[in-house]
Structure 1
Amino acid sequence: MSTIILVEFILYFIGIIVIAYLTSRTKMSHSVFILGGKKLPGWALAFSERATGESAWLLLGFTGFVFATGLSGVWVAIGIAVGIIFAWLVLARKFRSEADKYNVLTLPDYLAVKFQAKANIIRWLVTVLIASFFMFYVGAQLAGAGKLFLTTFNMNETTGIIIATIVIMATAYFGGFLSVVWTDMIQSIMMLLTLVVLPIVALIYIGTNDLSISTSLANAGEGFDSWMGGVTGFAIGVLFFNNFSWFFGYLGGQPQLSARFMALKNDREAKQGITVAIIWTILAYTGAFLIGLAAIAMYQQGSFADVETVLPHMILNLTPSWIAGILLAGIMAAIITTANSQLMVVTSSVSEDIIHKTLGMKLTDKQLVTISRIVILAVGMISMIIALTSESLLYLVVSWAWAGVGGTLSPAILMTFFWKRYSSTGLIATVLSGFIFTVLWISTPLDGIITSRFSTFFIAAIFGIVFSLMFPDKEEKNI
């Protein structure tokens, strides 16, 4: 079985690297390398945005979370789905028009241009925020790759992490944003195939083997068969907000997602993207939730040393080898799409926001592209070292990065878009408070009570509001 699956994996890796190489033959100015040069259709950007937003966390982390918690895990899916739909319906067109209006390529540069009074400080702060958390985020994806190789081929996790690093760096290195989006699109379809096909196969298996999801939920443990986890009173609110709180990270604060909105050509392309993104989200999260529930019926609690390997185990147990290889490649696709997109975000922040804009280096397009490629290699290697030395779970690491970046920048984006009195000092206060409080919050037992995904958003928003009122900009910012 492993030989057939291994061959399919090799063909998959070769395929996406070839696609990345072919896209690199496009005339590669720095703006094309960083944001695609407005050359991409809306449907392709939507597939890419969804693949980027739903990483190994969805296929490995969320399915394992549902297996370990039961029905109450649905609030995570609902929170995320509502956030995604809100972002596409309300924010996508705004991002597109603002990027065109101010001729910017990155989220940090957009904020800096909007608040000229402290532009360079803003570029530095936002870049440091993004790079600090995203290197761990990429590391989490690489750790997920190690788990997949271990489960599938009984391969040493270190070897799996190194292989995944090479493929991820290659897809970003060759053609930048164009390579990432086109390979994302193919991999997004592969992810969706895994999340749609596997629950159908699992439910057929459960039905033909006289198993019962409802009975298994009742026997799995306290609260598994309750939509509120079996808690009452104040604890219901805590559980709801902790699970639903993924919503706040989707409100414009994830630069790897907002880049897709900024790359849209026009409103017609945005409408295409909205349709694709919403359908993809509903199918994917319904499938992932059903996979977690089906696993509860198929396996006893405690069957896995790591619950985040539930999905690959189910694939290997339920499907013939040639199908298993395709579905397992869907997991690898989730890992690669998110990791290379985040590599591009960090790269664009360093090359465009710091080297080009803040330091004001006079470089040609070719030199800027070369610098971007060097940054891709450097960040990829650092992330690989993080993956090799960290034992944190995918769910937790992604959760913290979601709070540190999404929970911090989402209120900043919302106030920039919709509140005229938001000031440059308020923006700086938002970023600093979000960064500091996320680190402090996850370092204490508080994160086990109220998640930093929830607390960071509101703390950063409050600091932004207070400091904007206390220190308004002397000249009204561009609107």
Structure 2
Amino acid sequence: MTENFWLVLAIVLYFGVMVGIGFYSWLQTKKYDDYVLGDRGLNPLVAGLSAGASDMSGWLLMGLPGALFVAGMSELWIVIGLFIGTWANWKWVAPRLRSYTEVANNSITLPSFFENRTHDTSRILRFAAAVIIIFFFTFYVSSGMVSGGRYYESTFGGDYLTGMLIVGSITVLYTFIGGFLAVSYTDVVQGGLMFLALIIVPIMALFALDNPADIFTWATDNAYGPHPEGNPTYFNMVAGVSAATIIGNLAWGLGYFGQPHIVTRFMALRSPAEARSARRTGMIWVAICYIGAIFTALVSTVYFSQKSASVTDQTNFETIFLDLARLMFHPLIAGIILTAVLAAIMSTMSSQLLITSSALIEDLYRIFNKKPSQTTLLVLSRTMVVLVAIAAMLMAVNPSDTILGLVGFAWAGFGAAFGPVVVASLYWKRLTAPGAIAGMVVGALTVFIWGSVPATSAMIYEIVPGVIFATIAMVAVSLFTQPKPGVAAEFDRAVAVTEYALAHPEATFSDAMEGTAAPHPASN
């Protein structure tokens, strides 16, 4: 049997499992809130893995190893920033966001939370947040489509467009059917595949080398990949890297606070106290995955030179993980391992499709139709999943940027537009609706303009000025305006519920609500 037969068999089995989970989740989805947020019933293991899997995307197995392979360890500043950001997000945002979103009129999306948190009646805040989600997630989903097309090229030697359409269509199918539960449950399977693949592939490639110790010296003294004379500064994290570049790469961690597809997992937890267990799961998972991606790049500098093997992507070298798996294993085993890349791509795309659909229906459509039926909401949400996917596919037909570039732009957009507002919503009682609007708009526009101008984008990653200017605008406008009546009392209530839940981890969220019936003061 041919290699492609075994590869196709493995991937068809994987697709079957994903669609099966979608149908199972469909049976559990009875109402609109189930489709959007799983009725806030996510256990911490699923939440931790789902947040990690939906976060990493094809960047973890393709973009990051490729960047490390080409540029060297100077790219590790991104990993350090992301690791710190992941921990901080789980530590400081997750518990309070879980409490506050339910205290604030049971908000099930980030835009609705912003509106309910500030008691905004103009609908401008919710509308602006929804537009930002739709705009930046279209780019983000497009990066997943690009990953899918390149995956198909490398694995089957097939057509980029065909691969993009296949991967995109399967992702749309199970998201369309099962909603939030399907996305979360498939994330657990996909996260497990990514975890195992990032352990197995670099270890097996290491054993295949003539001298495994070469991985720590080869790139500096020998020709490999894009460096015909080697890269003498490969292992130096600061050589040839400006302070602005280091700050910009570390600043990727700031983006976590504003990523809707990640913080939605916090909102879906059963209790704020379960954020602790979910954080442990998520941090162990992400740490080992990062180590695997780093060693994939290190091993590849030697493997593709000693074995006279070629990398499919000769421009950005984002297929080294795919090529290693295909070259080293029996096609069936390679196919199973390679589904990890599909898992990374599809887990992120499905989360983003669902969040964008929710923004279109919950945060735009319901502004004009306040009392639609549950059936109408479900039908419209599923329809939007398909339409957003089509738009992202059209953008990905002729990709003009690397996977990392597309992800970086969208990541900065959300980090600058939503990050300061999320943190202020949870920790600054004085935040007002006009302040939140100003912060979001300034953050989004700064990222768009800064990232679009070559001179400024070359200076520093756009998330840095985006967060700075957004924070200044948010604070300044909030101080010149007044919070609506009732905002302070609700803030105190949310803080009290969080503190009670963390002090009584055995309590349900209902217990926490009842145990704090009389709110106590909270500091600004």
TM-score range, shorter chain: over 0.9
Q: Deviations over 1:334-378 (max 9, x none)?
A: 11000010001011111112222x223321111111110111111
Distance 1:2 1:238, change over 3 A: same
Q: Which residue of 1 aligns with 2:289?
A: 284
Query: Is residue 2:386 matched to residue 1:377?
Result: yes
Instruction: Out of 166-175 and 208-217, give the one that drifted further.
Output: 208-217
Instruction: Please give the alpha-carbon distance, in whole angstroms, between the structure 1 residues aligned to 2:39 and 2:141.
Output: 25
Which aligned pairs between 1:243-282 and structure 2 lie closer than 5 A?
243-251=249-257, 253-282=258-287
Instruction: Please give the alpha-carbon distance, in whole angstroms, between the structure 1 residues aligned to 2:44 and 2:186.
Output: 15
Q: SS at 2:173's partner residue?
A: helix
Which aligned pairs between 1:46-57 and structure 2 lie closer than 5 A?
46-57=48-59
Which aligned pairs between 1:413-428 and structure 2 lie closer than 5 A?
413-428=422-437
Q: Which residue of 1 aligns with 2:502?
A: none
Q: Deviations over 1:71-109 (max 9, x none)?
A: 112211111111111111221111111122121100110
Q: Which residue of 1 aligns with 2:518?
A: none
Q: SS at 2:27's partner residue?
A: coil
Query: Is residue 2:206 matched to residue 1:200?
Result: no
Instruction: Please give the alpha-carbon distance, in whole angstroms, between the structure 2 residues aligned to 1:244 and 1:206.
Output: 33
Instruction: Please give the alpha-carbon distance, in whole angstroms, between the structure 2 residues aligned to 1:35 and 1:295.
Output: 41
| CA deviation after TM superposition for structure 1 residue 207, in Å | 5.2
| CA deviation after TM superposition for structure 1 residue 222, in Å | 4.6
Distance 1:359 1:148, change over 3 A: same
Query: Is residue 2:301 matched to residue 1:296?
Result: yes
Q: CA RMSD of the aligned region, Å? A: 1.8
Q: Which residue of 1 aligns with 2:329?
A: 319
TM-score by length of 2: 0.87
Instruction: Please give the alpha-carbon distance, in whole angstroms, between the structure 2 residues aligned to 1:328 and 1:467.
Output: 50
Query: Is residue 2:120 matched to residue 1:117?
Result: yes
Distance 1:106 1:340, change over 3 A: same
Distance 1:212 1:196, change over 3 A: closer
Which aligned pairs between 1:75-154 and structure 2 lie closer than 5 A?
75-102=77-104, 103-154=106-157
Instruction: Please give the alpha-carbon distance, in whole angstroms, between the structure 2 residues aligned to 1:46 and 1:270.
Output: 8
| CA deviation after TM superposition for structure 1 residue 425, in Å | 1.2
- The one-letter amino acid paired with 1:416 is S
| CA deviation after TM superposition for structure 1 residue 474, in Å | 5.8
The answer as to whether partners of 2:109 and 2:264 remain within 8 angstroms in 1 is yes
Q: Deviations over 1:211-248 (max 9, x none)?
A: 343232354325312021344xxx2x223112211101
Q: SS at 2:347's partner residue?
A: helix
The answer as to whether partners of 1:112 and 1:119 remain within 8 angstroms in 2 is no
Instruction: Please give the alpha-carbon distance, in whole angstroms, between the structure 1 residues aligned to 2:69 and 2:345.
Output: 20
Instruction: Please give the alpha-carbon distance, in whole angstroms, between the structure 2 residues aligned to 1:106 and 1:227.
Output: 39
- The one-letter amino acid paired with 1:63 is P
Count of residues in correspondence between the two structures: 473
- The one-letter amino acid paired with 2:176 is Y
- The one-letter amino acid paired with 1:41 is N
Distance 1:210 1:123, change over 3 A: closer
Off by >4 Å, runs of 4+ in structure 1: 207-210, 300-303
Instruction: Please give the alpha-carbon distance, in whole angstroms, between the structure 1 residues aligned to 2:485 and 2:220.
Output: 60
Instruction: Please give the alpha-carbon distance, in whole angstroms, between the structure 1 residues aligned to 2:216 and 2:330.
Output: 24
Which aligned pairs between 1:371-410 and structure 2 lie closer than 5 A?
371-410=380-419
The answer as to whether partners of 1:228 and 1:239 remain within 8 angstroms in 2 is no
Counting aligned pairs with the same residue, the percent is 27
The answer as to whether partners of 2:148 and 2:168 remain within 8 angstroms in 1 is no
Query: Is residue 2:367 matched to residue 1:361?
Result: no
The answer as to whether partners of 2:269 and 2:275 remain within 8 angstroms in 1 is yes
Query: Is residue 2:162 matched to residue 1:156?
Result: no
TM-score by length of 1: 0.95
Q: Deviations over 1:158-193 (max 9, x none)?
A: 100111111011111111101111111101101111
